[in-house]
């Protein structure tokens, strides 16, 4: 595998770096899990879109640059190295958009993707239910056929971004006669301000509404907002899940940048005699670099099948290791949150740790991902789910 970029790719990296240097806010934005921070991050999406950096790998007709997967990886490296804000549009750009490009209609792409790229429409993910999290196929929310569309009823929970977002995408049981749990499902998009939809924020560990419950009472969805064939939603949803667990949601550049910040923190604040902590820093750097090389291998045509489960295990545990090591290095000082004037990195390590705690749970728990790896990749007999 050739790890050298072409002159054109190097030019692309330089262009991205220069633009980010001139536009990334000098003061960190407020947490996107607050109303104020959400608005600030939406404005940042507009800035990215104005520079044509909000969706670099999309076709230009939808607001992208038509760049390759490798160039997307390069952009992500520069994005996170520049200390740019977290993407409030990530559920849309990273999850729904790839799904629409694979399963959506031309009309859906033309109608939905430009507004997503510009930050005009921010999307929430509405999959989990009170008794259907990692076991998504046990969901109970329903879609009932009506004239011109479907009536959605039920309850979704732990819906990321739903507290302040505009629209959501979810999975609903539409064909009661289907024989198996993952059959007879329909993938639908709906407005969070639509009649029959009620949103109730759910506080995270720090009290901020990073999630929400969504209650649907015969909310109408027109046919044009169904993705794929009604009743075949599971296949469409697995496309979204592949993006969520793989490289699309959590690019290597994010972890490489965090590892570099961790090394800088070590050099600035650590006890050189603490070899145990030093080894943890080194281990995190090696793992971040390994993830980066895995991304390059995928760009070169490497395997990208059931591997998203492996990838999800890797990045979720790496994220925790990076932030736990940083907080151990900082000691009690590291627990200061963003509003504290002397909080390290404006509270970034503490907030990042709170977010990383959820990594082994969302996008399918790590226990489920290990089952998938054991059964589908290694061919081992079924265990707890048999």
Comparing C-alpha atoms, which of 42, 63, 41, 67 is closest to residue 52? Answer: 63
Residue 157 tokens, joined: 């929970």
Catalytic residue among 45, 244, 307, 351: 244
Given a contact cutoff of 8 angstroms between Cβ atoms, the answer to whether 199 and 190 are in contact is no
Given a contact cutoff of 8 angstroms between Cβ atoms, the answer to whether 35 and 88 are in contact is no
Comparing C-alpha atoms, which of 228, 230, 105, 211 is closest to residue 168? Answer: 211
Angstrom distances, CA of residue 108 to CA of 117, 145, 189, 243:
14, 20, 11, 19
Q: How far apart are alpha carbons 38 and 46 in whole angstroms?
A: 13
φ/ψ of residue 185, rounded to 5? -110, 150
Packing angle, helices 7-23 and 69-81, rounded to 10:
30
Kind of pairing between the strands at 123-126 and 167-173: parallel
Given a contact cutoff of 8 angstroms between Cβ atoms, the answer to whether 18 and 82 are in contact is no
Angstrom distances, CA of residue 211 to CA of 62, 132, 230, 282, 365:
28, 16, 27, 34, 17
Question: In the chain, which ranges are E strands?
Answer: 123-126, 142-146, 149-156, 167-173, 185-191, 197-202, 211-222, 226-227
Neighbours of 40 (CB within 10 A): 18
Comparing C-alpha atoms, which of 94, 128, 96, 91 is closest to residue 109? Answer: 96
Given a contact cutoff of 8 angstroms between Cβ atoms, the answer to whether 196 and 217 are in contact is yes
**317 labelled catalytic:** no
Catalytic residue numbers, as ranges? 244
């Amino acid at each position: 595998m050739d790890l050298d970029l072409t002159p054109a790719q190097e030019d692309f990296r330089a262009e991205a770096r220069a633009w980010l240097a001139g536009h990334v806010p000098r003061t960190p934005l407020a947490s996107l899990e607050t109303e104020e921070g959400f608005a600030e991050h939406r404005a940042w999406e507009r800035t990215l879109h104005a520079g044509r950096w909000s969706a670099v790998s999309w076709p230009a007709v939808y607001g992208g640059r038509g760049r390759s997967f490798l160039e997307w990886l390069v952009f992500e490296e520069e994005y996170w190295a520049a200390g740019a804000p977290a993407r409030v549009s990530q559920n849309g750009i990273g999850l729904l958009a790839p799904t629409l490009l694979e399963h959506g209609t031309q009309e859906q792409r033309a109608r939905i993707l430009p507004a997503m790229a510009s930050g005009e429409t921010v999307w929430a993910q509405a999959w989990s239910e009170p008794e259907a999290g990692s076991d998504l196929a046990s969901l109970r929310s329903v879609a009932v056929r009506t004239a011109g569309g479907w009536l959605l009823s039920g309850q979704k929970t732990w819906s990321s971004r739903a507290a302040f977002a505009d629209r959501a995408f979810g999975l609903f049981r539409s064909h009661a006669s289907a024989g198996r749990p993952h059959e007879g499902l329909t993938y639908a998009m709906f407005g969070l301000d639509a009649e029959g939809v009620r949103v109730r924020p759910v506080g995270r560990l720090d009290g901020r509404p990073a999630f929400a419950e969504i209650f649907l009472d015969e909310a109408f969805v027109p046919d044009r907002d169904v993705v794929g064939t009604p009743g075949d939603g599971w296949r469409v949803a697995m496309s979204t899940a592949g993006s969520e667990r793989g490289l699309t949601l959590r690019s290597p550049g994010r972890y490489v940048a965090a590892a570099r910040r961790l090394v800088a923190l070590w050099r600035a604040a650590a006890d050189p005699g603490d070899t145990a902590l030093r080894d943890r820093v080194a281990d995190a750097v090696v793992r971040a670099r390994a993830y980066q090389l895995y991304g390059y291998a995928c760009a070169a045509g490497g395997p990208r099948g059931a591997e998203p489960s492996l990838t999800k295990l890797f990045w979720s545990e790496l994220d925790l290791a990076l932030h736990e090591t940083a907080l151990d290095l900082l000691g009690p000082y590291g627990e200061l949150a963003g509003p504290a004037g002397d909080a390290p990195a404006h509270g970034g390590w503490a907030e990042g740790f709170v977010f990383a705690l959820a990594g082994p749970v969302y996008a399918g728990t790590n226990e489920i991902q290990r089952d998938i790896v054991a059964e589908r990749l290694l061919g081992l007999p079924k265990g707890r789910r048999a």
